[in-house]
Each structure stands twice: as structure tokens, then as C-alpha cells.
Amino acid sequence: MAREFYNSIKSGAQNDPDRTAIIDGEVSLSYAELLEQVEKFSAALETLNLGPDSKLGIFCLNQKEFLVALLGAFLKGVPVVPFNLLLGPEDLVFVAKDAGVDAILLNAAFVKPETAPFFNMFPHRIVAGQGENVGLLKEGFHSFEDFLESGNASDALTKHKRGANIPDLILYTSGTTARPKGVTLNESQLFANTGAVREHLPFSSEDRVIMALPLFHSFGNIIALVILQSHATLILVPQFAPKTLLGAIDRHKASVLPLVPTIYSFLADLYQRGGYDVSSLKYCISGGAALPVALLHKVEEVLGVTVIEGYGLTETAPVIAVNTFKDGSIPGSVGPPLSNVETRIADDAGRPVKQGEVGEICVRGPSVMKGYWNRPEETREAFGPEGWFKTGDLGHIDEAGRLYISAGRKKDLIIRAGENISPLAIENALMNHPAVAEAAAIGTPHERMGEQVSVCIVLRAGQTATPAEFKEFCRNKLPAYMVPDQFNFYAELPKNAAGKILKKQLKEEFATRQAPGG
């Protein structure tokens, strides 16, 4: 194994040992200190006598221990399984058993009477931080600090002997459609992706980057690795709260902020009320969901930044395309595909469509997963002819080679009276309304038309509007066949850990609530 990320961290430690790599609250790690802890973690893994099928689970917030463990496990060759902290108890147990996790790094704050039995499932437990309920853990666990000191330095570069066909990393999907699926990836695939991303986004070692995206999610994970590979500074923030984010930008003079679109809306609103200095911020990076053009313009205008939109999936390690620092924002486009990602826009039969036509985005390349863990049938279904991975997203490519997500997820298309309706087009139109903070268009059952268009809206603070007003607004912005049938108001929309709106959950909730009209 090539030790790609270890060599990158080592290079940073040799060239500029005192440069800050990670800021975690009041604690900082220089590149020299990060290298030392990664080597110590790798050496300490040797003391656990892990078997060929063993895997290390990580159940942590955005904290330095997460990255030390990830990089240390890569160095040792022990497979890593980050746990999505928003999964329910049944799904957490399923992931642990499905992946075969027998060692876990956990944040002490998560140990509670109801969670202790889950953590006690694992023979090897490493506990980061302090918590009043740590006594609920069975004997034999290590504190993170003690674990780092438990190995022999000579074992740091000794590779773990693991079974055949076991990947370096298994990232589980959120489980919103069924049981979570494990996406299998190797360090070399992540390294290929980070290298290609840096061609579009050449971060400087002087950059200071806010990391509020969860590290257990592919978007947060890859951005963190890109930043460390660039020998820049990563500022860890444990939550998406707009006050926390603006405060961190102000305090640390951050230059880059990666987020999902839904958070940018609330961030811009809060900033306009005053009290924060974000003049250090140069770029906002958006991914995880489509960014409405109206919101892009608002963020650029309010925060005085350039918004760089990108696109990817966990299965593609994850970035497929991203706009460049050089070209800046291209409203509506997620940018040109990475240099090592082949992209095809295909029809339902998997055949390429003409340039500019809308079809399913399909990709090939070194960063595309080999398959889902223990899911051979679903792996076969994910790939089309000639090894093209089917993303399930509908898009097109323009004459300049830039990719657009034209109609959102294929499975989210609304079919009303035989007409295919793009929820993304409706959402983009509504985001131009001054009262709208968030909007999600979904198809709901209708006796005559098959489906009707229902929109779930979160209003901006202090704003009011009626369904009739929104319908008239849409009539002026959209073709007649796209105008929604119902408008429904929510205090907040359900989201996954990365901040992406959960439309499946909205459909389920919609069936059980009284629609206010439309």
C-alpha cells in the first residue's frame, strides 16, 4: 500500500512543522504534531491483535481524534467504518454487524444508559474526551490519550494483514430508503479524487477552512483530506448552527467555507443582522444538493464571496464535477467534470444522448466504487453497460463541457397527468420569492392525475405569505403544467446529517398531516 495521505502529512510536517493543521475548539495540532499522533495511533492498533476481517468504527463528532484515527488506520491498513450519528439504534446495530466492526473510537459524550449496550458490543473501545457516563462501559476500554502511548514506535509502519477484497473504507448511506448500504472505497481512490479536486480548487497552505460538514459524510471527509493534502488549516466545528459558523469565520479569519445549500440561506439572513466580520472569507463551496441560482446570487452579494458549486456521490469518492477558483461561479452549473472522471449523459436504455440534451448522469473512473458491501445484486443494478455507474441524477452538459443538474433525482420526478415535472425547477423558482427560506417540491398521490405537485415551504423569519400568493407567483415564473397544486408551511424541513432535505420523509409526513390548502 502506498501510504498516500500519510506521505502528504509527512511532507507538510517536514516542510513547515509548526504550521497549524487542525483547530479543534481551544486545541490545535501542528503538522508535526498531527504526524506524530497518526504514527502513534497506527502503532497502537498493533496492540489490539486485530484479525484479518477486523474493522475500526468511528463514532465521533467533528474532532481531531476522528482525523487522527482515520489517517492512522489508513497507515496501518485497518479498514475504517465511520458511523452516521443520526442513524437510529436499529440501523447502528445493523451497520456494526454488517461491516463486522470489532473496534471502535467513540466520543465519551455519547455514552448514555440507552447507548452503553451498543458500545459494549465491541471488544475494543477507545474513548475520546470525558463523560459522566463512561462508567457504564465494560472494563477494558482505553482513553484516547492512553491508547496513543500504548504502542511501539517501530510498529507504526507495519501493515496489518487483512483478508482479501476488504476495502480501506466503508461509508454507509443514510438509510432513508431501506437499510443503510456500505459503499466500499480504498485510500487510493480517495487520493485520486483529492488530487483531481485540487486541479480545480488549488488551495494554498495559507487557507483556513471551516469544517462543519460531518466528517463521517463523504462531502466533509473529502474536503478535510483535500485541505490536509494542501497543508492548509482545518477548523473543526461540530454543528451547522449559523451563529457558530459566523463566529468561527470571524474568530479564525477563515478564507473558505464548504456547506450545503440549505444552511447558506439561514447564514446569509443572520449575517445581514450584523455583528460578524467575514471579510476574510473568499470562497463558499456548495455541494450535497442543488444550489438555487437565486440563493447563489444572494450569498455572493451578502457575504462578498465567490460561490463554487460542485457535485458528487458517496459512490464516486465523492466528487464528480466542481467549478474552478479560476472561473469562479457559473450559476446553474456544478462545473466541468474532474480530469479523471469520464461522464456520459444517457437515456433510459443507457445510450448517450446528444450534447445539451437531458439524461441520466453516468460516470466511470478510478474513484468510482467497486460495489456495495455484501450487496452483490444492488451492485449489479448500480452499473450500466460498459461499467458506467448510474448516478440516478438527471443532467446535461453544455458546449463548454460544464455539467448541469437539470432536473434533480430521477426518482424524484413528479408525473402529473402524464407530464414529467422537475421538482428542481419549481424549487429554483420559489427561491426567488423574498419570503421563502427553503422549498421542497414533491409528488403526492392524486386519484385522477396519478400525482399532484405539493410544495413544502419554510418562511423566512418575520415573513408571511399565503398559498394563493405563492400560486400566483409560480404562474408568473413557471409553465402552466408545472404550477404546484398545494403549498404547505413547515417550521423546518427534515434533513440528513449533511443538511440535505429528506423528500421521502416529507412524503410520509405529508400523508399524515392536514394540508392547509392550495
- Would you state the pLDDT for residue 1? 53
Q: Is the pLDDT of residue 175 over 80?
A: no
4-185 and 188-408 agree in CATH topology: yes
**Are 77 and 101 within 8 A, CB to CB?**
no
- Would you state the pLDDT for residue 512? 66
Q: Is the pLDDT of residue 517 over 50?
A: no
**Are 430 and 436 within 8 A, CB to CB?**
yes
**Are 320 and 338 within 8 A, CB to CB?**
yes
Cα 495 to Cα 217: distance, rounded to the nearest angstrom: 13
Give the residue extent of every domain in the chain: 4-185, 188-408, 413-510
* pLDDT tens by residue, 60-113: 999 999 999 999 999 999 999 999 998 889 999 999 999 999 999 999 999 999
- Would you state the pLDDT for residue 410? 86
Mean pLDDT of 331-343: 97
Please give the CATH number for the structural domain made up of 413-510: 3.30.300.30
* pLDDT tens by residue, 412-468: 889 898 788 989 999 999 999 999 999 999 999 888 888 999 999 999 999 999 999
Q: Is the pLDDT of residue 2 over 80?
A: no
**Are 493 and 501 within 8 A, CB to CB?**
yes
Rounded to the nearest angstrom, the gap between the alpha carbon of residue 131 and the centroid of all alpha carbons in its chain is: 28
- Separation of first and last alpha carbons in the chain: 59
Give CA separation, 38 vs 106, 151, 402, in Å.
17, 12, 39
Q: Is the pLDDT of residue 160 over 50?
A: yes
Please give the CATH superfamily to which domain 188-408 belongs. Answer: ANL, N-terminal domain (3.40.50.12780)
Q: Write down the architecture of domain 4-185 according to CATH.
A: 3-Layer(aba) Sandwich (3.40)
Q: Is the pLDDT of residue 345 over 50?
A: yes
Q: Note the pTM of the prediction, 2 decimals.
A: 0.89
Mean pLDDT taken over the chain: 94
